[in-house]
Amino acid sequence: MERKVVVVVTVSVAAVACGMAAVAVGWRVRKRREWKKAVRVVREVEEECETSVERLRQVVDAMAVEMHAGLASEGGSKLKMLLTHVHNLPNGSERGTYYALDLEDTYFRVLRVHLDGQQSPILEHEVEQQAIPQHLLTSTSKDLFDFIASSLKEFVEKEEDSELSVARIKELGFTFSFPVKQISVCSGILIAWTKGFSIVDMVGKDVPACLQEALVQKGLGLRVAALVNDTVGTLALGHYHDADTVAAIVIGTSTNACYLERTDAIIKCQGLLTTSRSMVVNMEWGNFWSSHLPRTSYDIDLNAESPNPNDQGFEKMISGMYLGDIVRRIILKMSLESDIFGDISSKFSMPFILSTPMIAAMHEDDSPNLREVARILKDILEIPVVPLKVRKLMVKVCEIVTRRAARLAAAGIVGILKKIGRDGSGGITGGRRSDMKMRRTVVAIEGDLYSNYTLFREYLHEALHEILGEDIAKHVILKVTEDGSGIGTALLAASHSSK
């Protein structure tokens, strides 16, 4: 009898143990299945974002062809290829004191630059950047420029001791980094706003004229000598320090490029007479588009939900404003397809909750247990506990998105070099020629994405070398300039001074 009880108890314990083991196995199987689903999402996006050197070369060609088309006729390409009427870049001989006003998306800066003709601009003073009250971003051009002119007046009066009198007129370069159709170096009509601005009455108006009117009303003896895109300011500063600088790229929150073109290649504006036989062209490359760009469903959704669908397609794949949100969209998909993050956080659905600096911080987290990744997931996305292997997967997602962006930016740069015959090939029609003598070619570059995100910069350089090959790439130098949109613009005011 006693033995029977023992047997029954033993059997029951074994059954419970077996049951528990089965549950554990079942749990592990389910977890593995969920993990595989998340990995599949990442694998798919990795394949879709593929940027082999062959594909990059197709993007290079497409960029060069579109540049051609944009120069051939107005509206001939999504690349606007805007004339800047800047044909003399500063060379170091400029002298005097000049002002620069740099209108950014939510603030502006004023600078006063003293030039001694010795190739070293001395920045005498820089006003603390002034925030633009939110309501002015959508009000009227008069309100905006009155506000700017008042702040300028305060700055100038502080700097000059006494009020600038009309008799002592000083010159000012105005950095206005939006698409503008320039009629001369100091006048231009706003085509459309980008970034956060939406001052409707301003579109179609002469931008420097609006500023000049506000300056006159405030009794300021400042003349707008040059209207300058930030890329053009970057090129000016780059060229001032290094005469081999032929192009400039801005790659930060948004992106754009400009370069020095032969006037006879600007077919849409025949008969342009310039002493240098060249002119800086503002490409507005953020709007570049080609079927060769590796586009994913995440890009398609991001574009459809943006305030400017079908515009700025290249910018939406490569600039700092969007990389974080592409990553967020991928994580959202992972969380919908699997339970690797536990319960779905409502934060996953919040557009732009992940910024590009956060992506950089996760991507470059070199702590053994990815502390920074865990922190961002917890603090920003409100997922308190994430296993290490999931954190590693997050790093992978950041890598895929950033790598694609950097490599496409590199292809864009080579596209410009190809258009001007500095890529070691015979230009847009010719094949690669090994006997071609390659000239030293400098591209000035600015923007947080390039300067502050080390891995982005490394991927970009790596791709540039892959596309060009080592022999050609060694002649191409990417040089970071500092404050082209401030100092570079003051330099352009000097080189286009009426004095």
Q: How far apart are CA 238 and CA 121, in angstroms?
A: 12
Report the nearest approach of ligand BGC to the CB of residue 174 (Å).
13
- The residues pairing with 444 across neighbouring beta strands, listed in sequence order, are 248, 479
Q: How far apart are CA 51 and CA 59, in angstroms?
A: 10
**Binding-site string for ligand BGC from residue 175 to residue 204, where x marks contact by CB under 6 A and - marks none:** --xxx--------------xx---------
Q: How far apart are CA 311 and CA 401, in angstroms?
A: 20
From the list 3-11, 118-126, 213-221, 227-235, the region that binds ligand BGC by CB under 6 A is 227-235
Q: How far apart are CA 319 and CA 447, in angstroms?
A: 10
Report the nearest approach of ligand BGC to the CB of residue 175 (Å).
9
From the list 28-36, 111-119, 173-181, 340-348, the region that binds ligand BGC by CB under 6 A is 173-181
Q: Which is nearer to ligand BGC, 261 or 365 (CB)?
A: 261
Find the binder of ligand BGC among 51, 175, 234, 256 (CB under 6 A).
256
Report the nearest approach of ligand BGC to the CB of residue 139 (Å).
20
Q: Which is nearer to ligand BGC, 256 or 296 (CB)?
A: 256
Find the binder of ligand BGC among 230, 325, 423, 483 (CB under 6 A).
230
Q: How far apart are CA 251 and CA 483, in angstroms?
A: 13
Alpha-carbon dihedral sign for residues 242, 247, 251, 255: positive
Q: The tokens 């999931």 sit on which residue?
A: 390
Which residue type sits at 62? A
Report the nearest approach of ligand BGC to the CB of residue 285 (Å).
9
Q: Which is nearer to ligand BGC, 231 or 495 (CB)?
A: 231
Q: Which is nearer to ligand BGC, 286 or 313 (CB)?
A: 286
Helix axis angle for 320-337 and 2-48, nearest 10°, is 150
Q: Which is nearer to ligand BGC, 284 or 365 (CB)?
A: 284
Distances (CA, A) of 486 to 258, 380, 482: 16, 34, 9
Q: Which is nearer to ligand BGC, 280 or 381 (CB)?
A: 280
Q: Does 254 bind ligand BGC (CB under 6 A)?
A: yes
Q: Which is nearer to ligand BGC, 254 or 335 (CB)?
A: 254
From the list 200-208, 249-257, 264-272, 421-429, the region that binds ligand BGC by CB under 6 A is 249-257
Of the candidates 195, 115, 174, 103, the one whose C-alpha atom is nearest the C-alpha of residue 144 is 103
Burial class (CB in 10 A: 0-12, 13-18, 19+), 6: exposed
Which residue type sits at 426? G
Q: How far apart are CA 189 and CA 196, in angstroms?
A: 19
**Binding-site string for ligand BGC from residue 281 to residue 310, where x marks contact by CB under 6 A and - marks none:** ---x-x------------------------
Total residues at interface with ligand BGC (CB under 6 A): 14
Q: Which is nearer to ligand BGC, 253 or 495 (CB)?
A: 253
Q: Which is nearer to ligand BGC, 105 or 399 (CB)?
A: 105
Find the binder of ligand BGC among 51, 84, 175, 231 (CB under 6 A).
231
Pair of tokens at residue 436: 């071609």
Which residue type sits at 101? L
Q: Which is nearer to ligand BGC, 179 or 486 (CB)?
A: 179
Q: Which is nearer to ligand BGC, 190 or 358 (CB)?
A: 190
Report the nearest approach of ligand BGC to the CB of residue 161 (Å).
34
Pair of tokens at residue 179: 């698409």
Pair of tokens at residue 471: 């022999």
Q: Does 155 bind ligand BGC (CB under 6 A)?
A: no
Q: How far apart are CA 383 and CA 8, in angstroms?
A: 46
Find the binder of ligand BGC among 77, 182, 212, 229 (CB under 6 A).
229
Contact 437, 347 (CB under 8 A): no
From the list 158-166, 248-256, 329-337, 417-425, the region that binds ligand BGC by CB under 6 A is 248-256
Which residue type sits at 485? S
Q: Does 486 bind ligand BGC (CB under 6 A)?
A: no
Pair of tokens at residue 74: 């107005």
For 324, list phi and psi in degrees, rounded to 5.
-60, -40
Of the candidates 295, 241, 280, 268, the one whose C-alpha atom is nearest the C-alpha of residue 119 is 241
Secondary structure (3-state) at 184: strand
Contact 441, 246 (CB under 8 A): yes
Contact residues for ligand BGC, defined by CB under 6 A: 177-179, 194-195, 229-231, 250, 254-256, 284, 286
